[in-house]
């Protein structure tokens, strides 16, 4: 019997995802779902974790995944906190795949081992993103290349899924040149590489300094680039320019927090804040047509990327409410938030 390589199957799944996304507008393209807010790290910039929460019960996670499947969601990315701390993460990934949805994961990488990677392979994981913030750990972030390089080598040897390494600039990162060291190492290991621009607590722009801009421009020259490297959003943001686009959050993109509420994104928690069990196709349609006041200076790249599918059609006719979000400190710039960086 002929065995089709997993990554080839994933490319086929991506083709189906893109075709369906172009043909239909009334289903989510990408959803982020949080099975656990607790994290094993405490990065100073991050506002998406705590150090005490229990994992969401597995049956409840199944119900939320099933609801996303009912909507016809294309991609489900599992994030946190640190999702590898959930005892039944593999079962949750398998549940995503049982609906034919593309499965992604965002992790800090600390818990990766050869055995853990093989279990993720068996569960059906298709995309992984790890963000590495610096070369040497410091008081701001322990997600350093020095600490994680061994984990990256494990992934290069054992992972059957696609791996993207995201580095960040902006927001006061001490050594922006570290982002280039991280990106070059990612390419050397055969991974895709992306760069995110750090946003503040409402998900909006932090302007780049001249030094940061030089790093950003150099990163664009690297090979094996991820999707975010070829869209125009990042270029405008790097120069501090607003983007003219239609944010479809709440419609084409869903952020489902650990409490099971649907939000626009991780930085706009509180809107619309409807339980996923009660979220309907009418809600998806309404939010698809709703303007978002935070959109022009937004740096949430995954939301921008799914919006590309619909940029050319369906002007938004409903006025949004509740922006900007209440301040939450600032957070990392997620270049793909998991899985829209298709190789």
CA distance 249 to 64: 18
**Bridge partners for 134 per DSSP:** 144
- Give the containing element (helix H, strand E) for 108: none
Please report, for the chain, the start and end positions of each structural domain, with discontinuous segments joined by +.
6-331
Q: Residue 325: what pLDDT? A: 38
At residue 62, φ and ψ (nearest 5 deg) are -60, -45
Low-confidence ranges of the chain (pLDDT < 70): 1-4, 171-172, 198-206, 223-231, 321-343
CA proximity to 39, closest of 279, 304, 331:
331
Q: Residue 32: what pLDDT? A: 97
Q: Residue 227: what pLDDT? A: 47
Collapsed DSSP state (helix, strand, coil) of residue 248: coil
Q: Residue 189: what pLDDT? A: 96
In CATH, what is the architecture of 6-331?
Answer: Alpha-Beta Barrel (3.20)
Q: Residue 150: what pLDDT? A: 97
User: Terminus-to-terminus CA distance in the chain, angstroms?
Assistant: 27
């Amino acid at each position: 019997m002929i065995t089709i390589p997993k990554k080839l199957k994933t490319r086929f799944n991506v083709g189906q995802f893109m075709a369906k996304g172009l043909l239909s507008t009334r289903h989510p393209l990408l959803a982020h779902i949080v099975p656990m807010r607790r994290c094993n790290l405490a990065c100073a910039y991050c506002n998406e974790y705590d150090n005490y929460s229990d994992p969401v019960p597995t049956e409840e996670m199944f119900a939320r995944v099933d609801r996303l499947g009912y909507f016809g969601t294309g991609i489900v990315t599992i994030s946190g906190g640190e999702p590898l701390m959930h005892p039944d993460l593999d079962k949750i990934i398998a549940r995503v795949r049982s609906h034919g949805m593309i499965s992604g994961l965002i992790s800090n990488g600390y818990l990766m081992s050869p055995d853990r990677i093989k279990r993720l392979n068996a569960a059906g994981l298709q995309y992984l993103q790890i963000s590495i913030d610096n070369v040497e750990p410091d008081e701001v972030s322990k997600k350093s290349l020095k600490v994680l390089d061994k984990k990256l080598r494990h992934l290069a040897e054992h992972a059957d899924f696609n791996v993207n390494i995201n580095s960040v600039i902006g927001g006061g990162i001490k050594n922006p040149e570290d982002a280039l060291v991280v990106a070059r190492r990612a390419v050397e290991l055969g991974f895709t590489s992306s760069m995110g621009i750090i946003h503040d607590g409402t998900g909006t722009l932090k302007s780049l300094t001249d030094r940061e801009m030089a790093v950003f421009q150099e990163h664009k020259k690297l090979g094996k680039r991820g999707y975010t490297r070829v869209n125009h959003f990042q270029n405008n943001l790097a120069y501090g320019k607003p983007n003219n686009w239609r944010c479809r959050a709440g419609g084409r993109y869903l952020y489902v927090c650990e409490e099971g509420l649907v939000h626009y994104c991780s930085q706009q928690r509180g809107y619309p804040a409807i339980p996923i069990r009660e979220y309907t196709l009418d809600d998806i349609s309404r939010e698809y047509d709703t303007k978002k006041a935070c959109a022009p200076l937004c740096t949430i790249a995954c939301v921008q990327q799914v919006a590309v599918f619909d940029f050319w059609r369906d002007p938004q006719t409903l006025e949004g409410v509740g922006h900007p979000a209440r301040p939450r400190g600032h957070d990392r710039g997620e270049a793909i938030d998991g899985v829209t960086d298709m190789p």
